[in-house]
Structure 1
Amino acid sequence: MSGSKFLALVIREPKQKVLTLESYKEPSLGPSEILVQNVAVAQNPIDWKQVDQVPGNPPLPSYPWTNGVDLAGVVYKVGPKVTKFRPGDRVISITSRKTPRHGAYQTYTIVSEDSTVKLPSNSVSFEAGSTIPLGYITAAAGLIDALDLPVPPLDGPLPAKPNGEPLLVWGGSSSVGFYAVQATKLAGFTVFATASTHNFDYHDSDVVNRIHSAAGNKLSKVYDAISENGSTESAVKCITACSGRVAVILVPKPGASTVKVIMTGSVAFQNPRIAKVVLGLLETALHRDIFVTNRAKVLPKGLLGVNDGFELARNNKVLGEKLMYRISGTPGI
């Protein structure tokens, strides 16, 4: 490890509790790929759940492996067919995780040009930017694909002109829910949101009736950003139109016939058109300074701090904020 600037947090076996740093050679790029020198990386639930092999999460393809989805940094090199970016650009990206070199938990990561967005030069820090990609893409792609959310013209006003149509985000204080609220507002909808302590409290036994009343009994679109512990069943009850739909981020229990299922992050990767629209909207909102990022908590020790972050998540101690890590805080860097 000593002397190498290419360092990765490596998973060598299933359910490994302490991940270790290992060096690697500078990777080669495909024609449309970018090598990003990471400045900050953010944690997502899938990261530790893949390590622990929690049921319902895709397994790691092989071992050794480096995972991680969200990153922010500076373009280091570009492939020969890359046209939008050049070395030195400040960017955020969502990783494909198709090889260990495409994971976020390392000093340099290979990403696709099509999954990368330029950060404004001053208004968004790397730390704040690293919290955006997966949560925002999951939210916006699901809203567009499953709920037919119209995308406002990027050369027009944002947010779009109010259309008077209500949309409910169940779990508005979660990372995905937080970004679903913003994407919905940008599209001109009237947004209602449940949370544990403000807006509509989803612990309230009368929450469904209160939502019906507030939305004028014409709610036909719900985005369930929780999708577990009964949230989808409650979200379905909020629908007052017989043709309504609930978009979810996890597979619901059998019998939820009114629910259209989307898988976390899959829509944007499977549909290039949606990916282009979603990332175009994000970049426009960022550069117009009308996009708010998640609350972030920086854990110490850089990449080695990921072990502490995973342990906090395993014990349900990550609430209302994203954990993120500064690469410069990694011992030995």
Structure 2
Amino acid sequence: MKGISYSRYGGPDVLEYGELRDPKVGPDQVLVKVRAAAVNPVDWKCREGYLDGALDAVFPVIPGWDVSGVVVQPGVSVTEFAVGDEVIGYVREDFLSRGTFAEYVAAPVRTLARKPRNRSFEEAAGLPLAGLTAYQVLVKVLEVKRGETLLVHAAAGGVGSLAVQLGVHLGVRVIGTASERNHDYVRNLGGEPVTYGEGLAERVRALAPGGVDAVFDTIGGDTLKISANLLAPEGRLASIADPDVVGFGGRYAFVRPDSADLTELARLAEEGAVTVHVQETFPLERTADAHRLSQEGRTRGKIVVTVDWPDEED
């Protein structure tokens, strides 16, 4: 099969497009014919070796954890999916090697859910990692409740934009930090935008004089101190970007594959409660360019890589 791989840590130039070994399909896996795979910041962080202390890399590594596609072969013990089923997945294992930026991926069923029927493969590919991150932090970590006020940092990004929509769906008032050019976008998601930078705390306090009930941090660093000082009494703080959040009384969160959570997200997407904005798509052979764009850090929504199957129509 064709795919993207890297044999050493480094910049986007270490990514190579070419022939790869076909994946073996284990008993609890299904072989997915990939239609689209979303790019996430963790992809280039893995590629550059930032997660080497947590995840072993078995080179060559095929990058990517997000996928949407079609089941072409179920494993011998699989009853959940059949040939022809359209699926989405957050296909993360406990090591780096067998990712989603390829024509096929062998995905454990615990990482999969059925694709929202009324969403394109490109939109659906952007849902798993970012959507699961937003859902698990809001529901399981911060435990936000109807009527509360939530502050979401980087509200126009892949995770942030979904967190805004999920918060609104849960009946929460959402304030979202974003650059001025993304304010209308955040408003359209249902959030109240505030601008980054100097004076952020004062701008948030003007909207929530008594403080916010919860903060979802996706930036880390100095943002943690600002966020902690904006909390109301009994307020909660969580970060997916910086483990130092524990020093401010918060919790550090890392998304995990969960078929039930992903199925719920797919249902919400199908009903229109959450949508995925795809900023740009790249063909598989241009995955390095997709990584470069992601590393610029100004993405609105998601960047998606597509696999061209000329014999099929969407």
- Bin of the TM-score, shorter chain as denominator length: 0.7 to 0.9
**Which of the two has greater strand per residue?**
2
TM-score, normalized by length of structure 1? 0.80
The one-letter amino acid paired with 1:119 is: K
Identity %: 24
**Structure 2 counterparts to residues 131-280 of structure 1, below 5 A:** 131-149=126-144, 163-197=146-180, 198=183, 199-205=193-199, 207-228=200-221, 230-241=222-233, 243-253=234-244, 256-263=247-254, 265=255, 268-269=256-257, 275-280=258-263
Q: Which moved more, 1:128-137 or 1:218-227?
A: 218-227
Q: RMSD between aligned alpha carbons?
A: 2.5
The one-letter amino acid paired with 1:327 is: V
Q: In structure 2, how many angstroms separate the alpha carbons of the residues matched to 1:93 and 1:72? A: 6
Pick from 286, 290, 304: which aligns with 1:324? 304
Q: In structure 2, how many angstroms separate the alpha carbons of the residues matched to 1:277 and 1:40? A: 22
Write out per-residue CA displacement over residues 67-97 of structure 1, whole angstroms, 9 at most, x where no aligned residue: 2111111111112332332111121111124
CA contact (8 A) 1:127 1:296 kept: no
Tell me, yes or no, if structure 1 residue 37 matches structure 2 residue 33: yes
Q: In structure 2, how many angstroms separate the alpha carbons of the residues matched to 1:240 and 1:318? A: 30
Q: In structure 2, how many angstroms separate the alpha carbons of the residues matched to 1:313 and 1:57? A: 23
**Structure 2 counterparts to residues 41-190 of structure 1, below 5 A:** 41-54=37-50, 58=54, 60-98=56-94, 102-121=98-117, 123-149=118-144, 163-190=146-173
The one-letter amino acid paired with 2:42 is: I
Q: In structure 1, how many angstroms separate the alpha carbons of the residues matched to 2:78 and 2:103? A: 21
Distance change (3 Å), C-alpha of 1:11 and 1:291 = same
CA contact (8 A) 2:228 2:248 kept: no
Q: In structure 2, how many angstroms separate the alpha carbons of the residues matched to 1:55 and 1:285? A: 31
Deviation at 1:47, TM superposition (A): 1.4
Q: In structure 1, how many angstroms separate the alpha carbons of the residues matched to 2:46 and 2:53? A: 6
Aligned equivalent of 1:15: 10
Distance change (3 Å), C-alpha of 1:62 and 1:80 = closer
Deviation at 1:318, TM superposition (A): 4.5
Q: In structure 1, how many angstroms separate the alpha carbons of the residues matched to 2:132 and 2:302? A: 15
Write out per-residue CA displacement over residues 198-253 of structure 1, whole angstroms, 9 at most, x where no aligned residue: 21112251x3233234235152211112224x222221121021x22111002343
Q: In structure 1, how many angstroms separate the alpha carbons of the residues matched to 2:79 and 2:161? A: 32
CA contact (8 A) 2:239 2:245 kept: no
Distance change (3 Å), C-alpha of 1:35 and 1:73 = same
Where does the alignment leave 5 or more consecutive residues of structure 1 unmatched? 1-5, 151-162, 270-274
SS in 2 for 1:64: strand
Q: In structure 2, how many angstroms separate the alpha carbons of the residues matched to 1:55 and 1:186? A: 33
Q: In structure 1, how many angstroms separate the alpha carbons of the residues matched to 2:20 and 2:51? A: 31
Write out per-residue CA displacement over residues 151-182 of structure 1, whole angstroms, 9 at most, x where no aligned residue: xxxxxxxxxxxx32211112211211111112
TM-score, normalized by length of structure 2? 0.85
